[in-house]
Chain A
Amino acid sequence: ELKVEQNPLFLSMQEGKNYTIYCNYSTTSDRLYWYRQDPGKSLESLFVLLSNGAVKQEGRLMASLDTKARLSTLHITAAVHDLSATYFCAVSLSNSGYALNFGKGTSLLVTP
Chain B
Amino acid sequence: NAGVTQTPKFRVLKTGQSMTLLCAQDMNHEYMYWYRQDPGMGLRLIHYSVGEGTTAKGEVPDGYNVSRLKKQNFLLGLESAAPSQTSVYFCASNGRMTASGNTIYFGEGSWLTVV
Q: Which residues of A contact B (CB under 8 A)?
A: 9, 30-31, 33, 41-43, 45, 48-50, 88, 90, 94, 96-105
Contact = CB atoms under 8 A, between A and B. Distances in A.
B102 A48 contact: yes
Interface string B1-14: 10000000000000
Given A96-B48, A97-B49, A97-B56, A42 B42 contact: no
Contacts of A97: 31, 33, 48-50, 56
B103 interface: yes
Contact of A98 (B41, B43, B94): B94
Contacts of B105: 45
Majority SS at the chain A contact face: mixed
B102 A102 contact: no
Nearest to B109: A42
Contacts of B108: 41-42
A31 B106 CA distance: 17
Interface residues of B, number: 31
Nearest to B49: A97
Contacts of B35: 102
B41 to A, nearest CB: 6
Contacts of A104: 40-42
Given A90-B43, A98-B31, 11 more contacts: A42-B1, A45-B105, A49-B101, A94-B97, A96-B45, A96-B48, A96-B56, A97-B50, A100-B33, A100-B43, A101-B45
A31 B101 contact: yes
Contacts of B94: 98
A102 to B, nearest CB: 4
Interface string B68-107: 0000000000000000000000101010010111111111
Q: Which of B33, B42, B99, B106 has the most C-beta atoms of chain A within 10 angstroms of its own C-beta?
A: B42
